Amino acid sequence: MEAALGPEIASDAVEAAGNVAEGPRRDMRKWLIVAIAAVVALQAAAFFIFPPKDTAADANDTFDFPKDAITANFEFPAPHTVANLSGQPLSTDIVTFQPSISSSLLTSWILMAVIVILFFVMSRRIRIVPGGRQNALEYVYEGLANFATSLGGPAARRYVPIFVALFVFILLSNWSGLLPFVGRTEQLRAPTSDVNVTIGLALVAFALFHIEGVRVLGFRGYFGKFFTLSGFKEGIGAGIIGLVVGVLEFFLEFVKPVTLSMRLFGNIYAGEVALGVITALTIAVIPVVMVGLEVLLNFMQALIFAILTLMFTLAAIEPHHEEAHEGPKVPEGNMQPDVRHGAASPA
């Protein structure tokens, strides 16, 4: 290279390549420092703007650090009731059926309004040659759509809007708990840190894949996957085993919403408790590390919930294994008739 370009030109080329490689690393370090500084500043500002409540029994009692600081940042599983609509005394149970507006429900409505407004603004004036907002929207939607179809195949394309909606709503719900003013005020709480919200999301998903199963396969075809009598053709023993297995699979369907809701609630609530305890003890680098871990964890939990909902739906619309694997009859010797000439030809 030096012989062809000369030693000075070759050294300049190597130096330029090094500068190009160093550029992204400098930008990455700069944004990392900015992110750390922003998290520390937000945590410090939140400590003064939304200070922890004094949990001492009496106003004359002293604030015992760190015990009172930890309990002040600790959110109990039962959400705070913003408005009681039942006219009855408030229930202190974790899961309630009392008509009321809880802090997690109010935050859910705020997030839904933010999502609707955001997508409305970004999708206005759709053009053939997209602009910046349209590019960002298409990048996110197409990326999630391609990911869903790569997992579930062409059948998953019908459910891409549901997949995207679940992922975006759960992701923003998870991330809302990382905001300094959410959780420190009684009126606002991360929706997915409330088991009532996660159970509601799981029941929506549960209804979705069963309704789709009946719609695609029909009532008899769908429930015939669980209550099958075809095994009796091979004998009484095989028939009983097949029937028992099908009934067990039917009852296991009711475990799916439990696992969906408890996985999401457990991970998000436990993360908020850990973050609240560490934040109460120190406002420095450790909360920054925890916030970074929670950002990744919350992203993965939203993705897992959306993926499982998609996979359960695709499994529900899949026909019974005997019907799915039933193909055209091929004569012995792998010979099948030639449609054009009516003669046998190799397959």
CA distance 192 to 178: 12
Same domain, yes or no, for 19 and 124?
no
Domain residues for 39?
2-49
Same domain, yes or no, for 148 and 195?
yes
Tell me what pLDDT residue 55 has: 45
Same domain, yes or no, for 207 and 296?
yes
Same domain, yes or no, for 38 and 102?
no
pLDDT in tens, the chain (347 residues): 445 555 555 555 545 545 545 556 667 777 667 766 766 666 666 666 666 554 444 445 565 655 555 665 566 777 888 888 777 777 766 777 778 888 889 999 999 999 999 888 887 777 777 777 778 888 888 999 999 999 989 999 999 999 999 999 999 999 988 887 777 777 888 899 988 899 999 999 999 999 999 999 898 888 888 887 776 667 777 778 877 887 888 888 899 999 999 999 989 988 887 777 776 676 655 667 777 788 889 999 999 999 999 999 999 998 865 544 444 444 444 444 444 444 444 44
Helix (H), strand (E) counts: the chain: 11, 4
Tell me what pLDDT residue 346 has: 47
Same domain, yes or no, for 217 and 281?
yes
Decide if 335 is inside a domain. Answer: no
Same domain, yes or no, for 43 and 134?
no
Same domain, yes or no, for 45 and 110?
no
**Three-state DSSP class for residue 226:** coil
Tell me what pLDDT residue 306 has: 94
Instruction: List the structure tokens of 322.
Output: 């005997």
Decide if 157 is inside a domain. Answer: yes
**Three-state DSSP class for residue 88:** coil
CA distance 265 to 267: 6
pTM: 0.74
CA angle 25-31-32, nearest 5°?
A: 85
**Three-state DSSP class for residue 216:** helix
Same domain, yes or no, for 111 and 242?
yes
Tell me what pLDDT residue 191 has: 92
Domains held by the chain: number? 2
Same domain, yes or no, for 20 and 129?
no
CA distance 150 to 142: 12
Tell me what pLDDT residue 325 has: 47
Same domain, yes or no, for 110 and 28?
no
Decide if 346 is inside a domain. Answer: no
Contacts for 344 with CB less than 8 Å, ≥ 6 apart: 331, 335, 336, 337, 338
DSSP string, 108-160: HHHHHHHHHHHHHHHTSS--SS--HHHHHHHHHHHHHHHHHHHHH-GGGGGGH
Same domain, yes or no, for 33 and 76?
no
Same domain, yes or no, for 194 and 225?
yes
Q: How far is CA 9 from CA 1, 4, 16, 134, in A?
A: 9, 9, 10, 43
Decide if 227 is inside a domain. Answer: yes
